[in-house]
Structure 1
Amino acid sequence: MCHSQQAFFRLIHQECCSWNSQIIQYVRDGNLRDALSLYKDIRYKISVHPDASTYVCLLKACAKLKDLDMGQQLSEDIFATRLLETDTYIASSLVNMYAKCNSLGKAQEVFDKLFTHDVVSWTALMSGYVECGHGEEALNCFERLQQEGVSPNPYTYLCGLKACSGLRDTDKGRHLHGEIVEKGWERVDVLGNILVDLYSKFGKLSSARSVFDWLQSPDVVSWTALIGGYAEKGDAEEALALLQEMEGNGIVPNSHTCVCSLKVCANMGATTKGQEIHSHICTMGLETQLLVGSALVNMYGKCGFLSEAQYVFNDILDRDSVLWTALIGGYAEHGYGEEVLYYYEQMLVKSYDSNPITLICALKACGSTGAINAGHNLHSEILKKGLENEFFIGNSLVCMYADCYLFETAEVVICKLSLRDVVAWNTLLTGYVDFGCNEQALECFERMQYDFLSLDPVSCVGALKACGWLGNATIGQDIHIRILKIGFEMDLIVGSTLVDMYMKCGLFAEALEVFDTLTSHDVVSWTALITGYVYCGHGDEALFVFERMLHECACVNAVTFVSSLRACAHIRAIVKGREMHAMVVKRGLEGEPFVGSSLVDMYTKCGMLSEAHDVYLKLQVADHISGTALTSGYIEQGCGEKALDCLQELQDKGVLMNVVALGCGLKACGLLGALVKGQQMHADLIMRGYEEDPLIGLTLVAMYAKCASMREAQDTFDKLAITDMVLWNVLIAGYAQIAESEDVTLHFATMLQKGICPDSATFVHILNSCSDVGLIDIGQMFFLLLSHEYASIVIPDHYTCIIDIFGRVGRIERALAIIQDMPFHPQAVLWHIVLGACQRNKDVDLGRHAFKHAAILNHNDTAAYVLMSNLYADSSSKVLGC
Structure 2
Amino acid sequence: MNVVTAVDSQVQINHFNDETESFGELCALVKRHSKSKSLCDGRTVHASIVASGYDADTFMANSLVQMYGDCESLLDAKTTFSRTPSPNQYSWNILLGVLSRSGGFEDAKAIFSQMPCKDVVSWNSMIGASIQQGSPTEALNLLFCMRKDGIQPSQVSFLTALGACSSLASLDYGLHVHASIIGSGFDGNYRLGNALIHMLGKCEDLDGAEVVFSKMHDRNSISWSSMIAAYVHNGQSRDALALFYRMETEGIKPDEVTFLSVLTACANLGDIAEGQQIHNALLAGKFEKDRNVGNALINTYAKCGDFCKAKQAFDQIVDHDVVSWTALMGASLVSGFDQAALEIFSEMQCQGIKANYVTFVYALDACANLRALERGREIHDAVCASVHKKNVFVGNALVNMYGKCGLLEEAKGLFTNMNQKNVASWNTLMTVYAQNGFLDEALELFAQIPEKDVISWNALITALAQNGRANKAVEVFANMAFEGINPNTSTFVSVVDACGSLQDFECCLQIHTTIICTGNESDSILRNALLNMYGKCGCLDVARYIFDTMKDRNLISWSALIAAYVQNGQENQALGLFWDMSRCGVIPDEVTFTCVLAACADSAILDEGQRIHASIVAYGLESRLAVENSLLSLYSGCGSIGNLKVSFSKMYHRDVVSWTRVMAGTAQCGESKEALKLFSQMQIEGVKPDEVTYVGVMTACSHSGEVSDDRGYFSLLGLRDYGLVLKAEHYVCMVDLLGRAGHLAEAEKLIDIMPKEKFYLGWLSLLSSCRNHGDLKRGIGAGLRCFQLEPTRDAPFPLLRSLLNVARRDNAQFEMSRLQKLCAEEQVEDLIQELAAVYDRA
Alignment partner, residue 310 of structure 1: 314
- Secondary structure of the residue that 1:49 maps to in structure 2? helix
The yes-or-no answer on 1:531 pairing with 2:558 is no
Alignment partner, residue 4 of structure 2: none
Show structure 2 runs of 5+ residues with no match: 1-15, 303-308, 583-587, 614-621, 834-842
Distance 1:239 1:562, change over 3 A: closer
Instruction: Say what the alpha-carbon RMSD is for the aligned residues.
Output: 5.9
Alignment partner, residue 444 of structure 1: 442
What is the CA distance between 1:382 and its match in structure 2? 3.9
Alignment partner, residue 71 of structure 2: 65
CA contact (8 A) 2:66 2:94 kept: yes
Alignment partner, residue 355 of structure 1: 356
Residues 553-587 of structure 1 deviation map (CA, whole Å, 9 limit, x = unaligned) = 9977445445534544xxxxxxx655655554554
The yes-or-no answer on 1:92 pairing with 2:89 is no
* Distance in 2 (alpha carbons) for counterparts of 1:750 and 1:277: 65
* Distance in 2 (alpha carbons) for counterparts of 1:771 and 1:50: 117
* Distance in 2 (alpha carbons) for counterparts of 1:308 and 1:711: 48
* Amino acid in the other structure paired with 1:497: D
Alignment partner, residue 43 of structure 1: 49
What is the CA distance between 1:687 and its match in structure 2? 5.0
Residues 388-427 of structure 1 deviation map (CA, whole Å, 9 limit, x = unaligned) = 5645444444455566676665555444445655544555
Count of residue pairs brought into register by the alignment:
755
* Distance in 2 (alpha carbons) for counterparts of 1:247 and 1:718: 63
Show structure 1 runs of 5+ residues with no match: 1-9, 534-541, 569-575, 605-611, 635-642, 831-882
What is the CA distance between 1:711 and its match in structure 2? 5.2
Instruction: Give matches, 1:826-865, under 5 Å.
Output: none
* Amino acid in the other structure paired with 1:66: E
* Amino acid in the other structure paired with 2:534: L
Alignment partner, residue 83 of structure 1: 86
Alignment partner, residue 493 of structure 1: 493
- Secondary structure of the residue that 1:89 maps to in structure 2? helix
Distance 1:198 1:466, change over 3 A: closer
Residues 296-344 of structure 1 deviation map (CA, whole Å, 9 limit, x = unaligned) = 5425642566467436631xx5x76566666766776666666755665
Q: 2:62 aligns with which of 49, 56, 79?
A: 56
Q: 1:815 aligns with which of 812, 819, 822?
A: 819
Alignment partner, residue 74 of structure 1: 80
* Amino acid in the other structure paired with 2:42: L
Q: 2:292 aligns with which of 291, 294, 306?
A: 294
Residues 694-716 of structure 1 deviation map (CA, whole Å, 9 limit, x = unaligned) = 66666766766677777556863
* Amino acid in the other structure paired with 2:819: A
**Alignment identity in percent?**
15
* Distance in 2 (alpha carbons) for counterparts of 1:512 and 1:313: 54
* Distance in 1 (alpha carbons) for counterparts of 2:362 and 2:561: 33
Instruction: Give matches, 1:577-588, under 5 Å.
Output: 577-578=571-572, 581-588=575-582
What is the CA distance between 1:759 and its match in structure 2? 3.7
CA contact (8 A) 1:647 1:661 kept: yes
CA contact (8 A) 2:663 2:696 kept: no
* Amino acid in the other structure paired with 1:662: M
* Distance in 2 (alpha carbons) for counterparts of 1:127 and 1:430: 47
Distance 1:272 1:668, change over 3 A: closer
The yes-or-no answer on 1:482 pairing with 2:490 is no
What is the CA distance between 1:595 and its match in structure 2? 3.8
* Distance in 2 (alpha carbons) for counterparts of 1:782 and 1:365: 48
* Distance in 1 (alpha carbons) for counterparts of 2:687 and 2:378: 29
* Distance in 2 (alpha carbons) for counterparts of 1:241 and 1:701: 56
CA contact (8 A) 1:367 1:400 kept: yes
* Distance in 2 (alpha carbons) for counterparts of 1:406 and 1:397: 11
What is the CA distance between 1:466 and its match in structure 2? 2.7
What is the CA distance between 1:497 and its match in structure 2? 1.8
* Amino acid in the other structure paired with 1:62: Y
CA contact (8 A) 1:16 1:48 kept: no
* Distance in 2 (alpha carbons) for counterparts of 1:395 and 1:511: 34
* Distance in 1 (alpha carbons) for counterparts of 2:429 and 2:26: 72
Structure of greater Rg: 1
- Secondary structure of the residue that 2:55 maps to in structure 1? coil
CA contact (8 A) 2:248 2:254 kept: yes
CA contact (8 A) 1:96 1:124 kept: no
- Secondary structure of the residue that 1:15 maps to in structure 2? coil
Instruction: Give matches, 1:444-843, under 5 Å.
Output: 444-451=442-449, 453-454=452-453, 455-457=456-458, 459-467=460-468, 473=471, 475=472, 478-479=475-476, 481-482=478-479, 485=482, 488=487, 493-494=493-494, 496-503=496-503, 507=504, 509-511=506-508, 519=516, 522=527, 524-533=529-538, 557-558=558-559, 560-562=561-563, 564-565=565-566, 567-568=568-569, 577-578=571-572, 581-588=575-582, 593-604=593-604, 612-620=605-613, 625=630, 627-628=632-633, 631=636, 658-663=659-664, 665-666=666-667, 712=709, 716=713, 720=717, 744=745, 748=748, 759-765=759-765, 776=776, 808-809=807-808, 811=815, 814-815=818-819, 824=828
CA contact (8 A) 2:771 2:803 kept: yes
Distance 1:206 1:74, change over 3 A: farther
Instruction: Give matches, 1:357-436, under 5 Å.
Output: 357-367=358-368, 373=374, 375-385=376-386, 387=388, 390-400=391-401, 409-417=410-418, 421-424=422-425, 426-427=427-428
Alignment partner, residue 7 of structure 1: none
Instruction: Give matches, 1:264-279, under 5 Å.
Output: 272=277, 276=281
CA contact (8 A) 1:126 1:142 kept: no
CA contact (8 A) 2:571 2:600 kept: no
- Secondary structure of the residue that 1:83 maps to in structure 2? coil
* Amino acid in the other structure paired with 1:302: T
* Distance in 2 (alpha carbons) for counterparts of 1:300 and 1:737: 53
The yes-or-no answer on 1:130 pairing with 2:130 is yes
- Secondary structure of the residue that 1:500 maps to in structure 2? helix
Instruction: Give matches, 1:222-371, under 5 Å.
Output: 232-234=233-235, 272=277, 276=281, 293-295=291-293, 297-299=295-297, 301-302=299-300, 306=310, 309-310=313-314, 313-314=317-318, 353-367=354-368
What is the CA distance between 1:53 and its match in structure 2? 2.0
* Distance in 1 (alpha carbons) for counterparts of 2:737 and 2:256: 78
Distance 1:428 1:249, change over 3 A: same
- Secondary structure of the residue that 1:130 maps to in structure 2? helix
What is the CA distance between 1:230 and its match in structure 2? 5.4
Q: Choose 351-360 or 485-494, whichever is displaced more.
A: 485-494
* Distance in 1 (alpha carbons) for counterparts of 2:667 and 2:531: 39
Distance 1:67 1:183, change over 3 A: same
* Amino acid in the other structure paired with 2:460: S
Normalising by structure 1, report the TM-score.
0.65
Distance 1:421 1:120, change over 3 A: closer
Distance 1:693 1:41, change over 3 A: closer
Normalising by structure 2, report the TM-score.
0.68
What is the CA distance between 1:500 and its match in structure 2? 1.6
Distance 1:232 1:32, change over 3 A: farther
Distance 1:747 1:484, change over 3 A: same
Distance 1:278 1:93, change over 3 A: farther
